[in-house]
Amino acid sequence: MAMIDVDGLVRRFGKFEAVRGVSFQIEEGELFGFLGPNGAGKTTTINMLVTMLRPTEGEAHVDGHSVRTEARRVRESIGIVFQEPTVDEALTGWENLKIHADIYDIPMATFRDRAEEVLRMVELQEWRNKLVRNYSGGMKRRLEIARGMLHYPRVLFLDEPTLGLDPQSRVALWDYIREIQSRERITVFLTTHYMAEAEYCDRIAVIDNGEIVALDTPERLKKLVGGDVITIRTADNETAAKELFYDLQVEPEIEDGVVRFEAPNGAQALAQVFRTLTPEILSVDLHKPSLEDVFIHLTGRAIRDSEATEGEKLRSQMREGSAFGGMRMRRP
């Protein structure tokens, strides 16, 4: 049986449906990523899996236990790092671990060795007797991960583990996560809205508006995009988009002042662009598809757009200033 088995999970808040029937399985030892913009329903899904929220409909099993009827068994099987910090800042790192050991009933003898071990994994041994208040953001996150690992969980849930960290700490944190996962052979379920980070996962579910729109390995997801991704900036993006649509038979879209399209053979397409396009070309970019491109391909918008504030949206609309702005042309 799968380590995590989710079947038609729905959660409504009043009339609003935050999670709209998601289903997936995660095998033992997998590093599984939930990728989607803010408000997609990632945290709501995690909260149902860790028994902090009751599903409105559907069922899920974690380590063979129902989240509806066997909450306590589920809780014994899992470790979790919530999106918001939950370490006690007025206590030391060690004291935080000690309380965790008490509420998970880890025998005292085991606790000391295990606490040393998890602190070593996240390189916080020297900080163990300092108040958590004095830790940096990255250190607090690492302490939470160490704490989540303390009781040898079968599954570790990480909700946006790198949120709010600087790029350097984020890379380092990923190294810790990968190392812990391979050393302890545990199943990891994590969420992120950083596209690039999802690359580290074995498999990714892309979630948008409470629904899973794709689920596969990062490589296979990238193959969904039709070949290469080309972005060009021209003197007249609207005309350029029309010409690309009719002459190159591609589906261009205008985003942030550039025209973006996908082509099976990028180099060939680019040569044709230079030959035929009438508006002056200011810059070009050709790259292999990233997960960012996958998200755009699947949802028709960039993940950062779905997070843009109203002000930012307004500004980018004014920049684009065209009927094509933000729209996507699709072949029937």
List residues binding Mg ion (CB under 5 A).
Answer: 42-43, 83
- Is 152 among the residues that bind other proteins (CB under 8 A)? no
- Is 11 among the residues that bind other proteins (CB under 8 A)? no
- Which residue is closest to Mg ion by CB? 43
Lookup result for tokens 């408000």: 39
Out of 76, 211, 238, 256, the only residue in the binding site for other proteins (CB under 8 A) is: 76
Residue (13 or 246) nearer to Mg ion, CB: 13
- Alpha carbon distance 314, 77 (integer Å): 47
Q: How far is the CB of 5 from other proteins (least distance, A)?
A: 20
- The entry of ligand ADP, other proteins, Mg ion, none near residue 41 (CB within 5 to 8 angstroms by kind) is ligand ADP
Q: Determine how β-strand 187-192 pairs with β-strand 16-26.
A: unpaired
Q: Which of 82, 100, 96 is nearest to 161 (CA)?
A: 82
Residue (83 or 209) nearer to Mg ion, CB: 83
Cβ neighbours, 10 Å, residue 266: 18
- Is 82 among the residues that bind other proteins (CB under 8 A)? yes
DSSP string, 85-98: --S-TTSBHHHHHH
Q: How far is the CB of 53 from other proteins (least distance, A)?
A: 6
Check: CB of residue 322 under 8 Å from CB of residue 235: no
Q: How far is the CB of 320 from other proteins (least distance, A)?
A: 38
β-bridge partners, 44: none
Q: How far is the CB of 48 from other proteins (least distance, A)?
A: 11
Residue (54 or 288) nearer to other proteins, CB: 54
Positions in 15-54 near ligand ADP (CB under 6 A): 16, 18, 36, 38-44
- Is 134 among the residues that bind other proteins (CB under 8 A)? no
Stretch that binds other proteins, among 103-111, 185-193, 234-242, 298-306 (CB under 8 A): 103-111
- Is 86 among the residues that bind ligand ADP (CB under 6 A)? no
- The entry of other proteins, Mg ion, ligand ADP, none near residue 224 (CB within 5 to 8 angstroms by kind) is none
Torsion of Cα atoms, 192 then 198 then 204 then 209, to 10°: 40
Stretch that binds other proteins, among 19-27, 86-94, 111-119, 214-222 (CB under 8 A): 86-94
- Is 80 among the residues that bind ligand ADP (CB under 6 A)? no
Q: How far is the CB of 43 from ligand ADP (least distance, A)?
A: 3
Residues in contact with ligand ADP, total (CB under 6 A)?
11
- In terms of Cβ atoms closer than 10 Å to its own Cβ (0-12, 13-18, 19+), residue 199 is middle
CA torsion sign for 126, 131, 136, 142 is positive
Cβ neighbours, 10 Å, residue 74: 22
Residue (111 or 157) nearer to Mg ion, CB: 157
β-bridge partners, 92: 131
Residues in contact with other proteins, total (CB under 8 A)?
26
> In what helix (H) or strand (E) does residue 24 lie, and over which residues does it extend?
strand 16-26
Check: CB of residue 20 under 8 Å from CB of residue 181: no
CA torsion sign for 312, 316, 319, 321 is negative
- Is 72 among the residues that bind other proteins (CB under 8 A)? yes
- In terms of Cβ atoms closer than 10 Å to its own Cβ (0-12, 13-18, 19+), residue 70 is middle
List residues near ligand ADP by CB under 6 A.
13, 16, 18, 36, 38-44
Q: Using CB under 8 A as the criterion, which residues of the chain lie in contact with other proteins when the complex forms?
A: 50-54, 72, 75-76, 80, 82, 84-88, 90-91, 95, 98-100, 102-105, 147
